[in-house]
Amino acid sequence: QSSDYQVREQGEAQSMGYRAFLVGANGKTLSPWHDVPLKSPLGGGEIFHFVVEIPKESSAKMEVATDEPFTPIKQDIKKGKLRFYPYNIRWNYGLLPQTWEDPNHANPEVEGALGDNDPVDVVEIGERRAGLGEILRVKPVAVLAMIDEGELDWKVIAISVDDPKAALVNDESDVEYYFPGTLTEIRDWFRDYKVPDGKPQNRFGLGNKAAGKDYALKVIQETHQAWVKLVTRSVPAGDLSL
């Protein structure tokens, strides 16, 4: 349960020194990437934990520091400056714990693109704005295969099980029906967000559209297996903190 965890902030918000650490019920510091279980014990195997890095309607580019002990959430830095999106993100955004996109794995279904060396990203479409570091139970309903400068960067689209529409939304066709236009909006947002910085648009595999729930579950399973290999040291960790 998300109530088993608390967020301990260190440093000023929107500063280089800011860190948000995850703390367990016993007061012990935990890694939001490694120590939160991927699967929720409730939900028959298709409900997952989602760690919020960027609350909806905000623009600070917050992310888990994969190379720091306990992998706290910090604001990304580019060219010595704190990074912001050019416009607010309209959904809760974050990661699936205990997943990893292996940078040495070329995906034959997505142009042979290599993983981006991060946990899998989640776009949560529910109505409530979640808090930074909050852990939600979500069900995946679709997935986009974003290709960012040649790297494969999956975007799992999910809905919080506590959302009023959660029971109605089980696959990408339900998203279209109950949240019309949202899948296209998510794809276009991620396609274009780097363009104001003079970068090219991101591209998408799998026919440039969202694949359904079953494909999302397959991606989660494969990237969880990659994480298991990482933490059992059967593949080199590089700079990543385990």
Q: Which residues are catalytic?
A: 85
Q: Give dist(CA 80, CA 113) in Å, integer.
A: 29
Q: Of 138, 135, 142, which is closest to residue 161 (Cα–Cα)?
A: 138
What are 212's strand-pairing partners? 142
C-beta of residue 148 within 8 angstroms of C-beta of residue 18: no
With 0-12 / 13-18 / 19 or more C-beta atoms within 10 angstroms meaning exposed / middle / buried, residue 139 is: buried
Whether the CB-CB separation of 84 and 61 falls below 8 Å is answered with: yes
> Residues of 85-101 as b/e, b for ≥16 C-beta within 10 angstroms?
beeebebbbbbbbbbbb
Distance CA 161, CA 39 (A): 13
3-state class of 96 per DSSP?
A: coil
Rounded to 5°, angle at Cα 137 from 161 and 227 = 140
Q: Can you count the helices (H) and strands (E) in the chain?
A: 3, 18
d(CA 179, CA 194): 25
